[in-house]
Amino acid sequence: MSQSREPEMTTPAGEAASAGMNQGMRVLSYLIAGVALYGGIGWGADHLLGTVFLLPIGLVAGAALAMYMIIKRFGVPPAAERGAVAGTTDKGRV
């Protein structure tokens, strides 16, 4: 027996919630990828060089660079919102 599902209705509120969820997932993936990538590089360098301090440096650097990328990419509202919020256009004129 097959079960049929009704297509989900999309509403503006549902689309906004979905967009927020997608943006949150992107932010989380930046954080995880930054820590994993630079932590992995630090671990590999520690393993090859026989040191113990490069893994923590890699983890902190990965988190810091991930936060930088998140702020750079998601910290500034789109141009249309900037103008509406500040009451100006893209060139800063009213």
Model confidence over 70-93: pLDDT tens digits? 999 988 776 766 665 555 555 555
The residue segments making up the domain with residue 61 are: 50-87
Is position 4 within any domain? no
Taking each helix axis from N to C terminus, what angle separates 54-74 and 12-49, rounded to the nearest 10 degrees?
Answer: 150
Is position 63 within any domain? yes
Are 35 and 63 within 8 A, CB to CB? yes
Tell me which residue of 46, 71, 69, 72 sits closest to 58, measured CA to CA.
46
CA distance 13 to 4: 25
Is position 61 within any domain? yes
Is position 1 within any domain? no
Q: Look at the chain and report how many structural domains it folds into.
A: 1
Is position 73 within any domain? yes
Is position 93 within any domain? no
- Higher-pLDDT residue of 80 and 30 is 30
Residue 8 pLDDT level (bands cut at 50, 70, 90): low
